[in-house]
Amino acid sequence: MGERKVILSGNRPTGRLHIGHLFGVLQNWAKLQEDYETYFEIADWHALTTKYRDTSSLKSDIEDMVIDWLISGISPEKSVIFVQSHIKQHAELHVLFSMLVSLSRLLRNPTLKEYVAEREALKLKTEKKTLNRIAQNISQKILKEDEERKEVLEGKIKEFILKELEDNLFSEDSEVPYGDIVNYGFLGYPVLQAADILIYRAHVVPIGKDQLPHLELTREIARRFNSLYGEVFPIPEPILNEFAKVPGTDGRKMSKSYNNTILIGEDAESLKKKIMSSYTDPQKIRKNDPGHPDTCPVFHYHMIFNRENAENIKTECIKGVRGCVQCKKEIFSKMDTFMEPYREKRKKYEEKRDLVWDIIREGDKKAREKAEGTMEIVREKMKINY
Ligand code: SF4
């Protein structure tokens, strides 16, 4: 691999991947491995920050995700594919880095804020429901007979409880911000991420725009370490993933949590079902209604898998000379052909899942060697190599 610059990227193991990942990330990785020394991390510790209660599917999720990496062109000959938790040096560097970051810096993490806002909204919703029920019960018990007074009392109790709840949940001056919503691991995950990147002394990190704040923290930690103990880490630069987003079958962003994905190598039967039931322009009810292809996910799929005919399809849709059923049948046929080689390759690994682990063990070895090399320098620079 010689003098090539180093790239680190990775993903939490989430099971099988979808075509949004293929066009948004994996095809880019496959290109990058031609020019860089590439490390692809299966970030299982990161997965635990939110998925620590039930870990039963973690192993099969890792296998499924790595199979998708392999069938999408990530080559174990060109790239190092490894499991984060197999390289204990990441944990060591994480601990050392955690001394260099203030708590207030971590609390400014925008992902943390989004996560907390989501959880708070959910918590409020659940508590509102429970407390409404309690309010009803109390008022019913006190005022069995008097319907009118019961309603007034119930309303007052609800009003009082809601106010208390909202004040309590969103108060700025609570002693521990986000105290009972966020665990220590989640708060510190950008520091672990910095350790993941810097332990390979990566020069470049391919990321989406939304992840830029995390990389900024990694860069800050690298600078701080270098200025305290001496130059060890390059300051990693981002390469922005600039790919068109693939919409899900319901027109929203393709995501497992929306249940609107098309998997890489999706089997023909379920592919057909998904395409034929996918969302289209709601104003186009009959074939001769003029349509709006730009808002239709099926048209987006034509642009990706049937590019040569996309312009024509657009015109026909707008003019009302194309029906949605026919349009879906055509794109299904194109996508079905596209999926065939992915299905074939997936089958090979499905039948021998041990192959995936052989590849990972090989990658682990290379990753461990590189990571330990960095840790030897780090311990020496910090004078903790006694
Ligand atoms: S004709 Fe095709 S592009 Fe137009 S709305 Fe229907 S499915 Fe979408």
Where are any strands of DSSP class E within the chain? 6-11, 37-42, 79-83, 204-207, 237-240
Tokens of 92: 């060591």
Which position has the token pair 């106010």? Answer: 163
Whether 151 maps to a domain, the answer reads yes
**Residues facing residue 237 across a β-bridge:** 204
The sheet with strand 237-240 has its strands ordered as: 79-83, 37-42, 6-11, 204-207, 237-240
CATH number at residue 271: 1.10.240.10
Is residue 293 within 6 Å of ligand 1 at its C-beta? yes
Is residue 194 within 6 Å of ligand 1 at its C-beta? no
Closest by CA position to 79, among listed 208, 206, 189: 206
Tokens of 334: 């194109």
- Do both 30 and 55 map to the same domain? yes
Q: What is the pLDDT of residue 233?
A: 98
Q: What is the pLDDT of residue 173?
A: 45
- Do both 51 and 88 map to the same domain? yes
3-state secondary structure of 124: helix
State in Å: Cα 252 to ligand 1 middle: 16
- Do both 79 and 112 map to the same domain? no
Tokens of 248: 């899900």
Whether 248 maps to a domain, the answer reads no
Whether 314 maps to a domain, the answer reads yes
The last residue of one of the domains, among 147, 164, 184, is: 184
State pLDDT tens for residues 145-180.
Answer: 677 777 787 788 878 777 766 665 544 444 555 656
Q: What is the pLDDT of residue 149?
A: 77
State in Å: Cα 258 to ligand 1 middle: 22
Whether 270 maps to a domain, the answer reads yes
Is residue 24 within 6 Å of ligand 1 at its C-beta? no
CA dist., res. 97 & res. 229, Å (int): 12
State in Å: Cα 206 to ligand 1 middle: 34
CA dist., res. 52 & res. 64, Å (int): 19
Question: 311-329 burial, b if ≥16 CB within 10 A, otherwise e?
Answer: eebbebbeeeebbbeebbe
Tokens of 181: 């919503």
Q: What is the pLDDT of residue 240?
A: 85
CATH number at residue 44: 3.40.50.620
- Do both 332 and 270 map to the same domain? yes
- Do both 93 and 211 map to the same domain? yes
Whether 249 maps to a domain, the answer reads no
- 81 within 8 A of 40, measured Cβ to Cβ: yes
Cα distances from 4 to residues 1, 99, 126, 308, in angstroms, run 6, 31, 53, 37
Give the domain range for residue 30: 6-104+185-243+352-381
Whether 282 maps to a domain, the answer reads yes
State pLDDT tens for residues 344-359.
Answer: 999 999 999 999 999 9
The last residue of one of the domains, among 152, 167, 184, is: 184
Q: Ligand 1, from 324, 329, 332, 334: best to mutate by most atoms within 8 Å of Cβ?
A: 324
- Do both 176 and 148 map to the same domain? yes
- Do both 163 and 143 map to the same domain? yes
Cα distances from 149 to residues 130, 156, 159, 198, in angstroms, run 22, 11, 15, 66
- Do both 189 and 100 map to the same domain? yes
- Do both 144 and 272 map to the same domain? no
- Do both 143 and 205 map to the same domain? no
The last residue of one of the domains, among 149, 166, 184, is: 184
Whether 12 maps to a domain, the answer reads yes
Give the residue, by CA position, lying nearest to ligand 1 atom 4.
Answer: 317
Those residues of the chain that have pLDDT short of 50 are 1, 170-174
Is residue 280 within 6 Å of ligand 1 at its C-beta? yes
How many domains, the chain? 3
Whether 367 maps to a domain, the answer reads yes
Q: What is the pLDDT of residue 180?
A: 62
- Do both 239 and 327 map to the same domain? no
Closest by CA position to 93, among listed 196, 179, 222: 196
How many residues does the structure list for the chain? Answer: 386
Cα distances from 17 to residues 22, 62, 74, in angstroms, run 8, 11, 14
- Do both 292 and 273 map to the same domain? yes
